[in-house]
């Protein structure tokens, strides 16, 4: 490999990118050009980037499980007469359920409640599109 080619390969990295989204409308615009997506982080290899996606997804699911456990305990306490827990249950009953996210493009999320990220090479020409 020539020296200038080796230098170019060494400079290449990876971005973890997420599409534009509006959680108030439960809309993910994954059809937007990559130049409109947000760079969440950068990595030296695609494997590091993919590991981050997996870790972020795992954290989101762990948080969801933690909330479900807290909710279950509050409901148990409410049945036993705990006033704070009873207020929690009343507040929860008056809160509309979250909307599932809808997508404008073809990105297939693993989970309808998690905005997905993708790994894109830092030299991808689509990043320069207007």
- Could you report the per-residue pLDDT of 67-113, keeping only the tens digit for each? 999 999 999 999 999 999 999 899 988 888 777 778 777 776 666 66
| Residue 15 maps to a domain | no
| Residue 19 maps to a domain | no
Alpha helices by DSSP H, the chain: 3-11, 46-79, 83-93
10 falls in which pLDDT band (50, 70, 90)?
Answer: very low
pLDDT at 44 over 60: yes
What is the arrangement of strands in the sheet containing 118-121, beginning at the earlier edge strand? 38-43, 14-18, 118-121
How would you classify residue 38: left for phi > 0, otherwise alpha for psi between -120 and 50, otherwise beta? beta
Range of the domain at 35: 31-128
| Residue 18 maps to a domain | no
d(Cα 51, Cα 35) in Å, to the nearest integer? Answer: 23
Q: How many domains does the chain have?
A: 1
CB-side neighbour CA atoms (13 Å) of 93: 8
d(Cα 106, Cα 29) in Å, to the nearest integer? Answer: 10
- Residue 110: the pLDDT is 61
| Residue 51 maps to a domain | yes
| Residue 119 maps to a domain | yes
| Residue 7 maps to a domain | no
Q: What is the mean pLDDT of residues 50-59?
A: 89
Nearest Cα neighbor of 104 from 35, 28, 33 is 28
**pTM across the whole model:** 0.71
Taking only the tens place, the pLDDT of each residue in 14-42 is 999 999 988 888 888 888 998 899 999 99
| Residue 10 maps to a domain | no
pLDDT at 48 over 90: yes
- Residue 130: the pLDDT is 59
């Amino acid at each position: 490999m020539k020296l200038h080619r080796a230098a170019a390969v060494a400079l290449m990295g990876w971005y973890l990118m997420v599409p534009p989204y509006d959680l108030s409308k439960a809309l993910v615009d994954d059809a937007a050009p990559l130049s409109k997506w947000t760079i969440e982080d950068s990595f030296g290899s695609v494997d590091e980037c993919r590991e981050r996606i997996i870790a972020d997804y795992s954290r989101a699911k762990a948080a969801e499980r933690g909330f479900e456990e807290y909710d279950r305990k509050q409901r148990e306490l409410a049945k036993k007469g705990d006033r704070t827990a009873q207020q929690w249950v009343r507040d929860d009953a008056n809160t509309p359920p979250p909307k599932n996210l809808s997508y404008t493009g073809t990105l297939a999320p693993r989970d309808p409640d998690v905005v997905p990220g993708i790994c894109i090479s830092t030299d991808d020409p689509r990043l320069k599109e207007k």
